[in-house]
Amino acid sequence: MSLVGGAPDFDTGFRDRLADLLAWRRDVRRFRTDTLPPGALERLIGLACLAPSVGLSQPWRFVVVDNVSRRNAVRENFRACNADALAAYHGERAQRYATLKLAGLDEAPAHVAVFADHGTEQGYGAGRRTMPETADYSVVAAIHTLWLAARAEDIGIGWVSILDPTAINDALDVPKDWSFIAYLCIGYPQEGSSVPELERVGWEYRRTPEEFILRR
Amino acid sequence: MSLVGGAPDFDTGFRDRLADLLAWRRDVRRFRTDTLPPGALERLIGLACLAPSVGLSQPWRFVVVDNVSRRNAVRENFRACNADALAAYHGERAQRYATLKLAGLDEAPAHVAVFADHGTEQGYGAGRRTMPETADYSVVAAIHTLWLAARAEDIGIGWVSILDPTAINDALDVPKDWSFIAYLCIGYPQEGSSVPELERVGWEYRRTPEEFILRR
């Protein structure tokens, strides 16, 4: 790639398709069980590494989880945390919560845990002195990049957050100064939709952008 | 948009252009001063609101900052925080840090501060009981969406993190339970590049993706 100049000129057609991608990206919990093509995961992670990072620190660490015992430990932790979450709801909301499918841990062929390495010296600390949490935010940008790149190949991602971070670090035997950011289920979705599953099942609905803009 | 089915089929051409977008997105600090077209910012924020959010909570709050006094307060806070950051480096690293241009606060025509509303009840808390930080992560996904959508229109974004969050909440008069995530400078970049500015000036360089992948 050239250093400067020769920048791509994105046209209206591309922008329209990008808007489609943003609209049709989904948090997927219903996967087909067929595996990803060899090398697909590594290629997508390669694109994720183009994400912005504070001070060019690239604090993302992608842990591809294939070991059955480790996957089982993650699954058990999800079940326990989700049972706790259900217990905190009451009445009709609890009944509704109980019907939600919140993870595709059983079906998704690929599992990737993503961490932020708080101990990295890459970037020499630039940009994160007053806001050390920007290391975590960099990892989120990489995850979101992975998500979009995957969707463009019809591969779906579901972000599981109903987990105890300490338990996940232990289950995957990663350093204690790695902050757990996300556990990703990755595979081919059973169906496509432009509407979030939580909206389709009546849990919550999207508000219009105007509600989120203020002027100062 | 249809509820289910009719999903777009993204082709190789689109995927190649998406990879270009990811490669050429930059953290921009050198802006031209010409203003954005009317409505552009609101349209881009509208796309950002398609980002994933934990429990469909949409905790993002975009504060468009036009008031000169408020902009000056942010700028002064950046100067103070950056002086502190410089003082923490020594020797040659300090000399290099002093030469870095880390924000385009003086030139960028549009300023947007982005917060996470920790008090929102939207989403009924789903997915964030064990990891409340996922509200912040949702906002980061929205910021990254905004970034990519902007770049596809040749509009650049620079994320300023060398700021004291409390000071920014005060300067912009937003609720205390809004967590400051990012201050964005937005405008047309002076030039395009596929290489991060911090790499071009020799501060840090990108590692290969293989260094960030582990197996468990």
Q: What are phi and psi for residue A97, nearest 5 degrees? A: -60, -40
- pTM of the complete model: 0.97
Q: Would you say residue A31 has pLDDT above 70?
A: yes
Residues in chain B closer than 8 A to A112 (CB atoms): none
Counting as low any pLDDT under 50, the low residues of chain B are 1-3
CB contact under 8 A, A18 and B148: yes
Residue B1 is nearest to which of A23, A84, A148, comparing CB atoms? A23
Residue B52: name the closest of A213, A24, A52 by CA: A24
Residues in chain A closer than 8 A to B7 (CB atoms): 24, 191-194
So what's the pLDDT on residue B5?
57
Query: Which of B3, B12, B18, B195 to probe the A interface (max A CBs under 10 A)?
Result: B18
State the average pLDDT over residues A154-177: 97
Residues in chain A closer than 8 A to B9 (CB atoms): 154
At B115, the amino acid letter reads F
Say if CB B80 and CB B153 are below 8 A apart.
no
Q: Would you say residue A95 has pLDDT above 50?
A: yes
Q: Would you say residue A4 has pLDDT above 90?
A: no
CA distance A172 to chain B (A): 6
So what's the pLDDT on residue B40?
97
So what's the pLDDT on residue B6?
73
Over residues A113-143, the pLDDT tens digits come to 999 999 999 999 999 999 999 999 999 999 9
A-chain residue closest to B152, CA distance:
A10
- CA gyration radius for chain B? 19
Distance CA B81, CA B180 (A): 15
Residue B212 is nearest to which of A52, A61, A124, comparing CB atoms? A61
So what's the pLDDT on residue B87?
97
Q: How many residues does chain B have?
A: 216
Distance CA A167, CA A176 (A): 11
Residues in chain A closer than 8 A to B47 (CB atoms): 19, 22
So what's the pLDDT on residue A5?
57
Q: Answer with the residue of higher pLDDT: A3 or A21.
A: A21
- For chain B, domains (ranges, CATH) are 28-212 (3.40.109.10)
Residues in chain A closer than 8 A to B82 (CB atoms): none
Q: Would you state the structure tokens that stand for residue B187, as one six-digit string?
A: 């405008």
CB contact under 8 A, A153 and B63: no
Distance CA B142, CA A25 (A): 13
